[in-house]
Amino acid sequence: MSAAQATPSGDPLQPVPLQELRLLAEGRHWQVDQPLRELESLTPVRGQLTAVHRGNILELSGEASTIITLRCDRCLQHFNHPLSFRHQEVVWLGDQAREQGLDPEAVLEGGSEVLELDPDGLCESLDPSGDFDPEHWLFEQLNLQLPLVNRCGSDCPGPDLQTAENPAEPIDPRWAALRNLQS
């Protein structure tokens, strides 16, 4: 890793100006082994991320993993769930290139054959004079891996029916008609 790519002291996932990334031919590489502010996890997020400035686009690739605690939607018990991702993404720098149509020669400064660009797949954009926030990008990628339905496993005991069958507890009158159907 060259001196220009070295991570500054302190939090290595601080936002970096896109103009600074533009000056680094090989881009910037982050080794990640820390918690993220926006994601409560049991273990630090571990992985790596690379950002390469290529004219009108920012090429991002990374992978990371951690373990989080979720609550089962069925039995309401907490359980640990691994989260991980491996992803490559191209982000537009400004809307100018998108409005003018996709021109791979102009977008990739010389027509790199490494990326196969799909104009319909490119929907993210950043202000070219702004910053890239590696921590937030990692959070977004991990957050996309969260399950839609939280289930603790195939042997989930289901809801606790003891409270529903306990006659000592008063029944909400709005549910009384449903209780009669149970008999």
Q: Which residues pair with 167 in a beta bridge?
A: none
- In the chain, the amino acid numbered 28 is R
Pairing outcome for strands 45-54 and 28-34: antiparallel
The whole-number pLDDT of residue 38 equals: 92
Interatomic CA distance for residues 65 and 146, integer angstroms:
12
The whole-number pLDDT of residue 50 equals: 96
The whole-number pLDDT of residue 123 equals: 62
Q: Per-block average pLDDT, block size 10, for the chain (183 residues)?
A: 42 87 92 94 96 91 97 92 95 64 46 47 73 95 95 85 58 74 69
In three-state secondary structure terms, 84 is strand
Question: How many CA atoms does the CB half-sphere of 164 hold within 13 Å?
Answer: 10
The whole-number pLDDT of residue 120 equals: 54
The whole-number pLDDT of residue 39 equals: 93
The whole-number pLDDT of residue 99 equals: 54
Q: What is the DSSP letter of 170?
A: P
In the chain, domain spans: 16-182
Interatomic CA distance for residues 146 and 166, integer angstroms:
35
The whole-number pLDDT of residue 130 equals: 87
Closest CA to 28 of 46, 1, 55, 10: 1
Angle (nearest 5°) at CA 15 between 10 and 18:
135
158 token code pair: 């289901």
The whole-number pLDDT of residue 127 equals: 82
The whole-number pLDDT of residue 163 equals: 52
The whole-number pLDDT of residue 173 equals: 73
The whole-number pLDDT of residue 171 equals: 67
